Chain A
Amino acid sequence: MPILPKKKVGIVACSGEEMPEGTVSRVAALKVLEELRPNDTVTICLPLFLAGGEGDRAFARFYPTVAIDGCEKRCAARATEMYSGKPAASIVVTEVVRRNGLGPIRGSRRLNEAGMQAADLVAQEVARLVDQLLGRTGQKATPEAVVEEAAAEVPEDEEGTITLCSCGSGIPVQKVSVNGRVVTLIALPAIFEQFYKAGKRPGGGTTQELLEVTRIYNPIPPEEEAAYAEALAREYEKYCRKQVKGVP
């Protein structure tokens, strides 16, 4: 049975050394990665990312990222956008501090109390964003920017074509027609294979299930759910017919 990659969120912090807010970004990122959402997040090391770390860059092209920046210069967000794709969300520490009326942040090396408080607030906000991006809250997250970036790199093929996502992740993608336009759905071939091997027949409850699994890897706007469901049902039926006929 194919193993579908678990969707995770990359966390990129600026870690700027020259200002305490940079340290806040680092402390907050580590809090999310180590304590709040260790199973759902992956560290994106900014220096490695800048220096061409292919693993980090490929990850950020496929998965949504949250950039945490100390100041308005937004180094982490800009670097992510430059090398992989627009971050799904971007948080600036100075804004969080202002919004929450925290006292002056001091101590780049050792944060003062206000700094630690800011780190906690930022971390909680990032954890909430992670939940949203993984579709765990009532409010649906739609990280269009990131997914579109990955999809945009797929060559313009015909509908139904299966290729590997050119983000470098090796994850298969498939183009399908939804509401008259061709969209690229990440991981769809693997999802179909998994469903088929599990003996799920086209139609009925399978379509809704397909929609839910597909949604984990792809943004599906609520107003287009019916159209996506129709497209998925159609494509899955085609897939099953091919398997029966033994067409590769």
Chain B
Amino acid sequence: MSPNRRVVIVPCSGIGKTFGTVSREAAYTVVEDLRPDTAELVALSLLVLGDEEARAAVAEHPTITIDGCRLACATKMVQESGFTVARSFTVLDAFRKHRDLKPEGISSLNPEGQKLARVLAEEVAEAVDELAKVYPDNGGSDADSA
């Protein structure tokens, strides 16, 4: 993890339903477009299978999970791997708030799905800001200037 990035995002990236694709797209939107200096992705499978770098990132930084569906695989597995989830989001909840944005497609999202991912990403970005304030010293020497 880059020293100045202070919040970890773990999406489920499920492949069986459109939800997983929205979670993945939302996560990319946060780390590439909305909060590139503060948030960084960690792959769930790396974390669960014991990758040291992934585990260190989650251990040292507040973690936000983005799950597709109610099974909440990302949240469950971060917790079962022995870490704390600072905030969790689900695509299903986002859809409940934005009924007009019905996502479709797993390999490529329809425009509504992309909008839903964006809306969800904006919510996540707010959570990133809050967590970055609460944990200002996490992650490295230049954290304060980030």
Residues of A within 8 A of B (CB): 13-18, 22, 26-27, 29-31, 34, 43, 45-48, 50-51, 53, 73, 75-76, 78-79, 82, 108-109
Q: Number of B residues whose C-beta is below 8 Å from A?
A: 29
Closest residue to A50 on the B side, CB-wise?
Answer: B48
Rounded to whole angstroms, the CA-CA distance of A47 and B106 in the bound complex is: 15
Task: Report yes or no: B44 in contact with A47, Cβ–Cβ below 8 A.
Answer: yes
Chain B: minimal CB distance from A122 (Å): 14
Q: Chain A interface mostly helix, strand, loop or mixed? A: helix
Q: Contacts A16-B43, A17-B24 given: A51-B15 contact, CB under 8 Å?
A: no
Rounded to whole angstroms, the CA-CA distance of A13 and B76 in the bound complex is: 20
Q: Which residues of chain B are within 8 angstroms of A43 by Cβ–Cβ distance? A: 15-16
Rounded to whole angstroms, the CA-CA distance of A78 and B50 in the bound complex is: 11
Residues of B within 8 A of A (CB): 11-16, 20, 24-25, 27-28, 32, 41-46, 48-49, 51, 71, 73-74, 76-77, 80, 106-107
> How many A-B contacts if CB must be within 8 Å?
87
Task: Report yes or no: A51 in contact with B77, Cβ–Cβ below 8 A.
Answer: yes
Closest residue to A110 on the B side, CB-wise?
Answer: B28
Centre residue among B11, B45, B71 by max chain A CB count within 10 A: B45
Task: Report yes or no: A50 in contact with B51, Cβ–Cβ below 8 A.
Answer: no
Give the residue of A13, A17, A75, A109 whose beta carbon is less than 8 angstroms from that of B49.
A75
Task: Report yes or no: A47 in contact with B49, Cβ–Cβ below 8 A.
Answer: no
Task: Report yes or no: A45 in contact with B41, Cβ–Cβ below 8 A.
Answer: no
Q: Contacts A15-B15, A50-B48 given: A30-B107 contact, CB under 8 Å?
A: yes
Rounded to whole angstroms, the CA-CA distance of A104 and B17 in the bound complex is: 30
Q: Which residues of chain A are within 8 angstroms of B46 by Cβ–Cβ distance? A: 16, 18, 73, 75
Q: Which residues of chain B are within 8 angstroms of A47 by Cβ–Cβ distance? A: 12-14, 20, 44-45, 73-74, 77
Task: Report yes or no: A15 in contact with B13, Cβ–Cβ below 8 A.
Answer: yes
Chain B: minimal CB distance from A20 (Å): 12
Kindly list 18 other residue pairs between chains A and B, CB separation below 8 angstroms, not including A17-B11, A17-B27: A13-B15, A15-B24, A16-B45, A27-B107, A30-B106, A45-B16, A46-B14, A46-B45, A48-B14, A50-B45, A51-B77, A53-B71, A75-B43, A75-B45, A75-B49, A78-B49, A82-B49, A108-B28
